[in-house]
Amino acid sequence: EGRRLAKLANAPTRTRDGVPIRLFANAETAADIALARARGADGVGLYRTEFLFLKHKGLPSEDEQFIAYRDLVLGMGGLPVTIRTLDLGADKADAAGLTLRGEDNPALGVRGVRLSLRYPAVFTTQIRAILRAACYGPVRVLVPMVTQPDELIAVRTLFKLARQDLKREAIDLPEKLPLGAMIEVPAAALNVRALLEHADFLAIGTNDLAQYVLAADRGNDGLENIYNPLQPALLRLIAYVITAGRRANKPVSLCGEIGGDVNFTALLLALGLCEYSMHPSQLLHVRDRLALLDHAALRRQAARLVRARTHEEVAALLEELGQ
């Protein structure tokens, strides 16, 4: 099994019927990046920058961030990397003291882009570091916890202002820098067409999307019968977002835990997903699984899957499909 999988490291990712699928890595550390390369990732689909803020006592400086982002870009050797802007708050409390104290519901509070926009100076430091790193290779910027279009518009404005400042300082700038939205808030999924007017790409964050759709804390072990990725309500949102992205001709990836879990590979393929992002240790497993799956046959089952009434019904359907 190990040897068979190892052979897949440099193989293209294709379904049994020859449809190409892109596999990205969720990677932060040098070890993750090395593994992503070794396992033949098509790029980094999610680089969680908050880890730089969590390990610090104070805030990381522009140069510290620049070096981390540049090393990521160089480490991927010309493959695209997706840098997510700061996603602090809720389960990601920070050491630097940016997150608000005393919120009754931190998961529904000032977190992700909401927090970044509340501290434009801190956010601009990160934006400058990203812009500088993007001169070293293809970078995309991903915004977490987007709820409505004005947040993307505000982020774009901050990027534009940072570009003007860097230009004035005679610092090199990248030509283009695609800006994407995480889809992890139900309102963002339901109103995705409005977001697509302002986003160059989307990444579905099913860890949080499931939590918010199901009103079930992602870290609470007592909710397993509810916090289930096969819940029809979640599948309908995922399918809707993928379809909207395809119609707008913009890439849609999925970077929650289920992206790297082979138990969900067929389901996501059926819903139309063409880009999976996962921990690099999962890349070969998902590539191996995809090679066994018939894309056309699964796509024909999409309507049945999203019409299911319970997660048990979805599970039974997948079993019937041989998954």
Q: Which residue ranges make up the site for ligand PEP (CB under 6 A)?
A: 46, 48, 87, 184, 205-208, 255-256
Separation of alpha carbons 47 and 142, rounded Å: 9
Task: State whether residue 163 is helix, strand or coil.
Answer: helix
The structure tokens listed for 182 are 């995480």
Smallest distance from ligand PEP to CB 265, Å: 16
Smallest distance from ligand PEP to CB 107, Å: 10
Pick one of ligand PEP, Mg ion, none as the site partner of residue 202 (Cβ within 5 to 8 A by kind): none
Give the number of residues in contact with Mg ion, rule: CB under 5 A.
3
The radius of gyration computed from the CA coordinates of the chain, to the nearest angstrom, equals 19
Pick one of ligand PEP, Mg ion, none as the site partner of residue 255 (Cβ within 5 to 8 A by kind): ligand PEP
Half-sphere exposure (CA, 13 Å, Cβ side) for 108? 10
Task: State whether residue 274 is helix, strand or coil.
Answer: coil
Sign of CA dihedral 202, 207, 212, 214: positive
Are residues 222 and 182 in contact, defined by beta-carbon separation less than 8 angstroms? Answer: no
Closest CB to ligand PEP among residues 195, 255: 255
Smallest distance from Mg ion to CB 188, Å: 11
Pick one of Mg ion, ligand PEP, none as the site partner of residue 124 (Cβ within 5 to 8 A by kind): none
Residue of 142, 91, 89, 141 lying closest to 114 (CA atoms): 89
Separation of alpha carbons 150 and 156, rounded Å: 10
- Give the range of 193-201, 204-212, 220-228, 257-265 binding Mg ion by CB under 5 A: 204-212
Closest CB to ligand PEP among residues 275, 295: 275
Smallest distance from ligand PEP to CB 41, Å: 16
Task: State whether residue 16 is helix, strand or coil.
Answer: coil
Separation of alpha carbons 257 and 279, rounded Å: 8
Pick one of Mg ion, ligand PEP, none as the site partner of residue 181 (Cβ within 5 to 8 A by kind): none
Closest CB to ligand PEP among residues 42, 208: 208
Q: What is the pairing mode between strands 22-26 and 81-84?
A: unpaired
Closest CB to ligand PEP among residues 51, 246: 51
- Give the range of 46-54, 95-103, 180-188, 195-203 binding Mg ion by CB under 5 A: 180-188
Separation of alpha carbons 33 and 18, rounded Å: 28
Chain Cα centroid distance, residue 187: 17
Smallest distance from ligand PEP to CB 58, Å: 22
User: Residue 60 interacts with Mg ion (CB under 5 A)?
Assistant: no
Pick one of ligand PEP, Mg ion, none as the site partner of residue 39 (Cβ within 5 to 8 A by kind): none
Burial of residue 116 (CB within 10 Å: 0-12, 13-18, 19+) is buried
Closest CB to Mg ion among residues 46, 81: 46
Pick one of Mg ion, ligand PEP, none as the site partner of residue 125 (Cβ within 5 to 8 A by kind): none
β-sheet bridge partners, residue 183: 204
User: Residue 208 interacts with Mg ion (CB under 5 A)?
Assistant: yes
User: Residue 205 interacts with Mg ion (CB under 5 A)?
Assistant: yes
List of residues contacting Mg ion (CB under 5 A): 184, 205, 208
